[in-house]
Structure 1
Amino acid sequence: MQEKTSLKVRVQKLGTSLSNMVMPNIGAFIAWGVLTALFIADGYLPNEQLAGIVSPMLTYLLPTLIGYTGGYVVHGQRGAVVGAIATVGAITGSSVPMFIGAMIMGPLGGWTIKKFDEKFQEKIRPGFEMLVNNFSAGLIGFALLLLAFYAVGPVVSVLTGAVGSGVEAIVNARLLPLANIIIEPAKILFLNNALNHGIFTPLGAEQVAQAGKSVLFLLEANPGPGLGILLAFALFGKGSAKSSSWGAMIIHFFGGIHEIYFPYVMMKPALFLAVMAGGVSGTFTFQMLDAGLKSPASPGSIIAIMAMAPKGLWPHLNVLLGVLVAAAVSFLVAAVILKADKSAEEDALEAAQAATQAAKAQAKGQTAPLAVAADSAISADSVEKIIFACDAGMGSSAMGASILRDKVKKAGLAIPVSNQAISNLTDTPKTLIVTQEELTPRAKGKTPSAIHVSVDNFLASPRYDEIVASLAGTAPAAEGNQQEPVVQTVQEIDLNHIDAVVVAYGKAQGSATMGCETIRAIFKNHDVRIPVSTAAIADLADYSAKNIMIVTTIGLQADVQQAAPDSQFLIVDSLVTTPEYDKMVARMHK
């Protein structure tokens, strides 16, 4: 019996349907923003001829792309063509940029041609397929174009003007910061892309056309609230949450992947107050200083945000100040919550340790098969491909797919690992779909026959080793495994006899760098003055000595031990976050 769709899932689906029309075209919005920033009269390089491209891009190109994409999402290429035709009717039948009209006519065009195909495709006589398909798309598109020109365009034009006036009234009344009371919790429920690209991007683009910038581009994209949360965990958290926060901070603030701080907030629901306070404070600062951006900042990285700020020193400083104020307020509120809620922190730490130990036992074949969100068990016979699915199909899911792809390859398994947006999933057999816990119900709704695994964090999950172990039927095999690896437990390592710690890496250095920063932070907090660095496996011969400890993962263990046989080793499930680091330091201080 199929589960009843919850209200939260329905809201996520609605928001995602909006953002899915805009997100694939963010590059076009950025191109338009750069064009505006450079060549308009008050731009960096004023050019009257090139500035003449700004208005046609806003009026015709961007809405047409949205309509085309909306039709494609519903019914592929045929839906895209009909959706684009219908959108042109809305554009020409209106006096304002027709983003909302495109979001209506694009999917409507795709839905209409889809229904036509469902009813008549099987009735077409052989040899007439091309004729019927081309004329049906053309005539249906023509009919929708007329509908959009005479009805949808004018109506949406009036509604757009009313919405614009409402937003302007809210801005003038200094009430815009209150929107963050809704925005910040909605982000953590994975509506971040829907809010930013489904709502604020179209409205913000219209404001840019009138005023040259828009504060709406900063409401959801502001990395300040998340930065404050992660900084509070770095200073006042405990265990793996504390040690992993440093690496998460870099990915969030500079990489722009906001999803990475969501698990930290959900671990302690009281922290919703911190992100709301940070968001309100940041938006208040933006509004007070008249800050804004010329184009959407995607992803929400401080680099992208500063790149989209208007020309001049003060506009950039105003944007940066709003981000820093949001971070400071979020940090102060989160710090109070973390210091007052010590028992919950210990519980979270124990849960993380238990999950890690369970992953280790599973990798050694000591536990039952991995529990999944379906009746199917994971095995090499039941899985032909693995898909990481998230709201947008980029960012955190791409990084999670990269991590598991590396583990699958090192285990000698020829199973492709990719990432997609949930809306683009198709229900195919023998597919393993990995999603964050909040998004699993939506993924199951799209692919009920697939095997589903939920994780709390794409970047550091013990479930990856469980998946690989289940697929391989044994513990993951390392490449070049020419000798039986000797697993050295943390109890055998005494930091009092270690002069240096080296985090080893194979082809990719990213996780090793994050693990290095994590260990440094733990050492600093416990006043352990041992240098920590990273090194490629090919260079480990220089570190083969009893007074050097090399940190590596299960997959690279054999290669590392072969490269530096005289060193001491700490084998972990994840270089980024593991309770083994804390246990190692705790033993030193006994």
Structure 2
Amino acid sequence: MQESIQKFGRALSGMVMPNIGAFIAWGIITALFIPTGWYPNEKLASLVDPMVTYLLPLLIGYTGGRAVAGARGGVLGAIATSGVIVGAGIPMFIGAMIMGPLGGYIIKKFDESIDGKIPSGFEMLINNFSAGIIGAILALLAYIAIGPIVLLLNNFLRAGVETIVTAGILPIASIFIEPAKILFLNNAINHGVLGPIGIQEAQTTGKSIFFLLESNPGPGLGILLAYWMFAKGTAKDSAPGATIIHFLGGIHEIYFPYVLMNPLLVLAVIAGGMSGVAVFSLLGAGLVATPSPGSIFALLAMTPKGLHLAVLAGILTSTIVSFLVASVFVKRAAGRMDDSQLSKAQETMRDLKRTPNTSVSKTTIAGNDLKKIIYACDAGMGSSAMGASTLRNKFKKAGFNVSVTNCAIEAIPADAQVVVTHEKLAERAVKASPQAEHIFVKDFLQNNVFEILSERLANVKTAPILETETPKNQPDSSSMLKKENIKLNCPSTDKETAIREAGKLLFKSGYVEEDYIEAMIARENDITTYIGKGIAIPHGVSSAKEKIKKSGIVVLQYPDGVQFGDDTAYLVIGIAGLGNEHLNILANIATAIESDEDGGEDIVAKLRKTDKIEDIYHIFTM
């Protein structure tokens, strides 16, 4: 049940989140130019209604359709959404969330039904006319039937919400909202439910309290301050950095593990949320649009003229209440805290938010035929190298004679039997190696590829292990990792800044040209370089290899962590690799982690906290 709700929530938020920039643009124009705005301007304010009535729902519909059936699905989703827009007199966000995916689903099923049946030369004709005919039918259906139904549902929900507000019981909503946030329904609640209601209210009154119900950073801030003041060990040490990321950066997910460590703290966030909403209601606070991310800066930017004190008062109240309640539970649990609790809570958080971290294609290679496995990533430079080294070490321990190597996706050999790659690279990997079995993972280090493959190999006779996969006759590691390129106790920051710092070190040390730094950012924007177990290895896209002068590695230690999406990296390892020269160091890291009895957790914890450059240098170059 919980997984189904989370999938539904991810689907809702997945249609809105990619378009947050458009929502913010609408919010800024609304805050500035409506009659109650900062700079009232009737001509410029005329942008407000068309944007909220047409632009935003069409973007949602397109995004929903595209998620189901690519660009073709996006077009059908937008066409279908136009029907509910025209058929209603209110912003049709709910209608867009229905018609967008529906349009994508129908065109996807149609395309599957005619796959391989189109006469040669008629592909474009049939594709274009099928999209047009189906789109026209969906738009008419939406206008005649779906739109009125959604409008009726919307009016019913709005009436219920108005009743709650009029009765003064809106703070009770925090009993549901705050725990749901911890279960990672925050985006679904904010963008899928509260956002559409808030936009309708803001369209008529210039503000809405509903934009504040989920985005209020106060409850989470109170939790982190309580840990900062009264906890022990890693939880206490990491709380200051988490506080900055949460309150200033707006990444609220960072406080969720601290609640999961001590589930009674859900009472603290509920109390904080309720008190904050009560103050917002009492003082008439509201925002003009959804603040995303939920940073204090974003909230203040979306606050209409004259209401900043009311918004700040609600945030301050919820922070104080949450802190006071949380302090009781944190103090009581402080004596029992150890460093493993936060790590376990973070793992629980990942389990709550993610689907299983490994999926397998339909093609399956039998154990007695399995001889060659390829780990592939975009550049073949870092992530795949460590993943391959980890898997190779596991096979060696188990006595299985299987070749495990790594390469860039475009260089996958024709005789590869199993290809392991990141799920976001799935389409490219299958296209590059259609004959192979494909295994898609979320993390190159934290996955169950070995468990999947070892089951097939369990009954296969073992043989002497191949040693040819590990790079031989490589340059001395000291030429690629210098002690002056190991930086300890770096202050917590955002991932782009951390990547740029690593890139600057590579550039200053003569390993790369300065343009390589932007290639590292581009690589991260394409697919995360977080590989698991608190480690990120940023490097450039494959096309930037010409910017590398010689192989080199730099290491930045962030004791309080850097957020890489949903994960926290404590070691950021910048990589510039020519050929395979840098793989020895990556293999050393993977081997050290894999040889640790606790699956690398102790090694990472040691490297995260150490104040001795020698500790890191020894592990990386041993």
> TM (normalized to structure 1)?
0.66
Cα 1:247–1:415 change in 2 (3 A) is farther
Residue correspondences, number: 442
Aligned equivalents of 1:351, 1:27: Cα separation in 2: 37
Cα 1:327–1:118 change in 2 (3 A) is same
Match of 1:102 among 96, 99, 102: 96
Report the counterpart of residue 514 of structure 1 in structure 2. Answer: 492
Match of 1:52 among 33, 42, 46: 46
Report the counterpart of residue 581 of structure 2 in structure 1. Answer: none
Deviation at 1:385, TM superposition (A): 2.8
Report the counterpart of residue 256 of structure 1 in structure 2. Answer: 250
Cα deviation code 1:364-400 (max 9, x no counterpart): xxxxxxxx86899xxx95431399xxxxxxxxxxxxx
Is 1:482–2:479 an aligned residue pair? yes
Cα 1:152–1:71 change in 2 (3 A) is same
3-state SS of 1:383 partner: strand
Is 1:219–2:213 an aligned residue pair? yes
Kindly report which structure 2 residues correspond to 1:32-51, keeping only aligned pairs within 5 A, or say none. Answer: 32-51=26-45
Cα 1:429–1:99 change in 2 (3 A) is farther
Report the counterpart of residue 296 of structure 1 in structure 2. Answer: 290
3-state SS of 1:431 partner: strand
Judge conservation of contact 1:240–1:578 (CA < 8 Å) in 2: no
Report the counterpart of residue 564 of structure 1 in structure 2. Answer: none
Report the counterpart of residue 184 of structure 2 in structure 1. Answer: 190
Aligned equivalents of 2:134, 2:179: Cα separation in 1: 41
Deviation at 1:338, TM superposition (A): 1.1
Aligned equivalents of 1:167, 1:243: Cα separation in 2: 42
Cα 1:579–1:177 change in 2 (3 A) is farther
Aligned equivalents of 1:235, 1:454: Cα separation in 2: 36
Judge conservation of contact 1:505–1:537 (CA < 8 Å) in 2: no
Identity %: 49
RMSD, matched Cα: 4.4
Judge conservation of contact 1:75–1:114 (CA < 8 Å) in 2: yes
Letter of the aligned partner of 2:320 in structure 1?
A: A
Cα 1:193–1:473 change in 2 (3 A) is farther
Is 1:165–2:159 an aligned residue pair? yes
Judge conservation of contact 1:504–1:551 (CA < 8 Å) in 2: no
Aligned equivalents of 2:87, 2:300: Cα separation in 1: 36
Is 1:273–2:267 an aligned residue pair? yes
Cα 1:479–1:68 change in 2 (3 A) is farther
Deviation at 1:201, TM superposition (A): 1.3
Match of 1:83 among 77, 80, 96: 77
Cα 1:404–1:259 change in 2 (3 A) is farther
Judge conservation of contact 1:512–1:576 (CA < 8 Å) in 2: no
Cα 1:232–1:382 change in 2 (3 A) is farther
3-state SS of 1:513 partner: coil
Cα 1:556–1:572 change in 2 (3 A) is farther
Cα deviation code 1:212-260 (max 9, x no counterpart): 1111111111111111111111110100110011011101100011111
Aligned equivalents of 1:58, 1:576: Cα separation in 2: 50
Report the counterpart of residue 525 of structure 2 in structure 1. Answer: none
Cα 1:354–1:293 change in 2 (3 A) is closer
Deviation at 1:536, TM superposition (A): 7.8
Aligned equivalents of 2:144, 2:277: Cα separation in 1: 39
Deviation at 1:538, TM superposition (A): 11
Cα deviation code 1:33-71 (max 9, x no counterpart): 111111111211211111111111111111111111111
Letter of the aligned partner of 1:324 in structure 2?
A: L
Report the counterpart of residue 10 of structure 2 in structure 1. Answer: 16
Aligned equivalents of 2:152, 2:244: Cα separation in 1: 44
Aligned equivalents of 1:43, 1:298: Cα separation in 2: 20
Judge conservation of contact 1:512–1:575 (CA < 8 Å) in 2: no
Judge conservation of contact 1:274–1:331 (CA < 8 Å) in 2: yes
Letter of the aligned partner of 1:93 in structure 2?
A: G
Cα 1:352–1:158 change in 2 (3 A) is closer
Report the counterpart of residue 69 of structure 1 in structure 2. Answer: 63
Aligned equivalents of 2:78, 2:373: Cα separation in 1: 43
Letter of the aligned partner of 1:513 in structure 2?
A: P
Structure 2 unaligned residues grouped into runs of 5+: 346-356, 366-371, 391-404, 410-417, 425-436, 447-468, 494-503, 510-555, 559-569, 575-601, 616-622
Report the counterpart of residue 112 of structure 2 in structure 1. Answer: 118
Aligned equivalents of 2:607, 2:239: Cα separation in 1: 9
Report the counterpart of residue 318 of structure 2 in structure 1. Answer: 326
Letter of the aligned partner of 2:439 in structure 1?
A: S
Report the counterpart of residue 193 of structure 2 in structure 1. Answer: 199
3-state SS of 2:287 partner: coil
Deviation at 1:99, TM superposition (A): 1.0
Deviation at 1:404, TM superposition (A): 7.8
Letter of the aligned partner of 2:173 in structure 1?
A: A
3-state SS of 2:490 partner: helix
Deviation at 1:406, TM superposition (A): 13
Match of 1:26 among 20, 25, 30: 20
Deviation at 1:483, TM superposition (A): 9.3
Deviation at 1:455, TM superposition (A): 10
Cα 1:53–1:484 change in 2 (3 A) is closer
Cα 1:415–1:354 change in 2 (3 A) is farther
Report the counterpart of residue 316 of structure 1 in structure 2. Answer: 308
Kindly report which structure 2 residues correspond to 1:345-494, keeping only aligned pairs within 5 A, or say none. Answer: 345=337, 348-349=338-339, 381-385=373-377, 429-432=419-422, 449-451=439-441, 453=443, 481-482=478-479
Deviation at 1:317, TM superposition (A): 1.1
Match of 2:172 among 172, 175, 178: 178
Cα 1:137–1:485 change in 2 (3 A) is closer
Cα deviation code 1:477-521 (max 9, x no counterpart): 9997239989xxxxxxxxxxxxxxxx9866xx9x71139xxxxxx
Aligned equivalents of 1:42, 1:555: Cα separation in 2: 47
Report the counterpart of residue 532 of structure 1 in structure 2. Answer: none
Deviation at 1:121, TM superposition (A): 2.7
Cα 1:159–1:339 change in 2 (3 A) is same
Deviation at 1:183, TM superposition (A): 1.1
Aligned equivalents of 2:141, 2:135: Cα separation in 1: 10
Deviation at 1:577, TM superposition (A): 5.6
Cα deviation code 1:433-453 (max 9, x no counterpart): 69xxxxxxxxxxxx9932455
Runs (4+) of structure 1 moved beyond 3 Å?
350-355, 372-376, 403-408, 413-417, 451-456, 477-480, 482-486, 503-506, 535-540, 550-557, 571-581
Match of 1:235 among 229, 239, 259: 229
Cα 1:37–1:119 change in 2 (3 A) is same
Letter of the aligned partner of 2:316 in structure 1?
A: L
Aligned equivalents of 1:317, 1:56: Cα separation in 2: 31
Kindly report which structure 2 residues correspond to 1:474-553, keeping only aligned pairs within 5 A, or say none. Answer: 481-482=478-479, 512-514=490-492
Report the counterpart of residue 340 of structure 1 in structure 2. Answer: 332
Aligned equivalents of 1:119, 1:152: Cα separation in 2: 25
Aligned equivalents of 2:344, 2:164: Cα separation in 1: 49
Judge conservation of contact 1:18–1:198 (CA < 8 Å) in 2: yes
Deviation at 1:416, TM superposition (A): 8.1
3-state SS of 2:479 partner: coil
Cα 1:344–1:152 change in 2 (3 A) is same
Report the counterpart of residue 132 of structure 2 in structure 1. Answer: 138
Cα deviation code 1:86-139 (max 9, x no counterpart): 111111111111111111111111111111111113211111111111011000
> TM (normalized to structure 2)?
0.63
3-state SS of 1:449 partner: strand
Cα 1:283–1:77 change in 2 (3 A) is same
Deviation at 1:350, TM superposition (A): 5.1
3-state SS of 1:217 partner: helix
Aligned equivalents of 1:297, 1:325: Cα separation in 2: 19
